[in-house]
Amino acid sequence: MSDSSNAVPGSLCLLIGPVGAGKTTLGRRLAAQQPAVFLDLDTWMVRFFGDDVRPATGVMGWYLERRARCVAGLWSVASEIASVGSRVVLELGLVRAAERLAMYEKAQLEGLPLTIRLVDASREVRRKRVEQRNANAGAFTQVVPAEMFELASDAWEPPSEAERDAWGILDA
């Protein structure tokens, strides 16, 4: 966050949900309505690492290392934008409760007004959306192979009632 003591904090809207739920669609719509800057993990992953050759083995470790770098970079940019008084809609692919909690606490520590929106849909609806997105992939579209969709869906930890209550999570 900027060290300017005169900066007026903007706001941060954090989108959470499983793969294919519609977070990017909602993020773009919210950014246009507010107005706000929309930042999403998938776009950065494709821009920075889309042409990288994936290893034959250890692809998950390869991916997670790059994902961690993108999340750190996105957070830094989002924090700077919000610290100068602008709104940010941020989607970081936070599938685990512990990583979401870390981001909530980071926003709190930085004094950023935080709204959290949960975007969800049934696994079958999400699978169809991802298949359609893959078939019509454009520039900077994250293609999600079927096996990765299943792994990511299995990894998703929906917010508990305690998480929802503690952080005021809104259904999108």
Q: What is the share, in percent, of the chain residues with pLDDT greater than 90? A: 69
**For the segment 12-37, what is each residue's pLDDT rounded down to a tens digit?**
999 999 999 999 999 999 999 999 99
**For the segment 63-106, what is each residue's pLDDT rounded down to a tens digit?**
889 999 999 999 999 999 999 999 999 999 899 999 999 999 99
Residue 93's Cβ-count burial label (10 Å; 0-12, 13-18, 19+) is: buried
Q: How far apart are CA 80 and CA 163, in angstroms?
A: 26
Question: Minimal CA–CA distance to 96: which of 88, 85, 104?
Answer: 104
Report the mean per-residue pLDDT for the chain: 90
**For the segment 137-164, what is each residue's pLDDT rounded down to a tens digit?**
877 777 787 888 998 899 999 999 999 9
Q: Domain segments of the chain: what residues?
A: 11-171
Cα dihedral across residues 130, 132, 133, 139: positive or negative: positive
Decide if 10 contacts 87 (C-beta within 8 A).
yes
Taking domain 11-171, whether its CATH number is 3.40.50.300 is answered by yes
Q: Model-level pTM? A: 0.88
